[in-house]
Amino acid sequence: SLSESGEEPLGIAAAPVKNRAGTRSIIRTVCLEESPMARLPVRSIAVTSALCAVVLVLGFTRTGFIPWGAGVSITFMHVPVILAAILEGPIAGLVVGAVFGIQSLIQAAISPTTPLDPVFTHPLISILPRLFIGPVTALVFSLLRGRGKNVILQLIGTLFAAIAGTLTNTSLVLTAFFLFAREAVAAFMPNLRAVGTLIVANAVPEAIVAVIFSLAVFASWKGIAFGIARSKLSYDEETD
């Protein structure tokens, strides 16, 4: 009912406004705040996007793969995934790893270059193992870098994180071979000795390249080598 002045009581008039504000808050929470990418700062989104672009360029130009005589390729495509995880954390590493896997699947389907490439048209071989590279790398780095800003610990963390990311990629892809494409890979890996040879031949050079690039990029990013200027984007970490 109306008051003596002819106006609606304050409680009745304010209720729709309050409800509308609550509805907008719920929509914002569901659509934005629950999205993993929405939690990333602008710097992280920029770095992740750039590294995704690097993956696509390396993949579609084939410069990220080096075929060798055993019918497989040594790849450096995991390096941007490792860098994303070290610089920006597990979510960034997961995103770049997903792009790596999807690109591998597409490339294997439209333009295979080695006898083993068609196996990577299986998403559980090309995509699933690559999703773990970033989180494992980020975990190892966070465990070894320490809580402070000790430069030596950060470099040690970067070194072992790069190795861990490389071994994660190699070991999980080989595991996926045996789980989902045993017959297709039997000619290339007929016994454990062949598997061991493949691991050494692939993982060692891939790990070396990953360590070199990771240390170089991390040092440049943080400005901890020879007093070089730190990357401008990395200054955002001071306010995160």
pLDDT for position 88: 93
pLDDT for position 147: 74
The span from the CA of 116 to the CA of 95, in Å, is: 25
Per-residue DSSP letter, 33: I
Q: Name residues whose C-beta falls within 8 Å of residue 126's C-beta, 6 or more positions apart in sequence.
A: 101, 102, 104, 105, 108, 120
Q: Which residues pair with 79 in a beta bridge?
A: none
- Give the H/E segment covering residue 128: none
- Give the H/E segment covering residue 153: helix 151-180
Per-residue pLDDT of the chain (240 residues; tens, 9 = 90+): 444 455 545 554 444 545 555 555 544 544 444 455 555 688 899 999 999 999 999 998 888 887 765 556 778 899 999 999 999 999 999 999 999 999 999 999 998 877 788 899 999 999 999 999 999 999 999 999 877 778 889 999 999 999 999 999 999 998 998 898 888 777 777 676 777 777 777 888 899 999 999 999 988 887 754 444 555 555 555 555
pLDDT for position 39: 56
How many Cβ atoms from other residues are within 10 Å of residue 119's Cβ? 21
Angle at 136 between CA 93 and CA 72, to 5 degrees: 80
Number of H helices, E strands in the chain: 9, 2
pLDDT for position 22: 57
Q: Name residues whose C-beta falls within 8 Å of residue 66's C-beta, 6 or more positions apart in sequence.
A: 73, 74, 75, 76
Q: Name residues whose C-beta falls within 8 Å of residue 22's C-beta, 6 or more positions apart in sequence.
A: none
Q: CB of 158 within 8 A of CB of 218? A: yes
How many Cβ atoms from other residues are within 10 Å of residue 104's Cβ? 26
The SS3 call for residue 186 is: coil
The span from the CA of 96 to the CA of 212, in Å, is: 19
pLDDT for position 225: 45
- Compute the residue count for the chain: 240
Angle of the 151-180 helix axis to the 78-88 helix axis, nearest 10 = 140
The span from the CA of 21 to the CA of 29, in Å, is: 12
pLDDT for position 227: 47
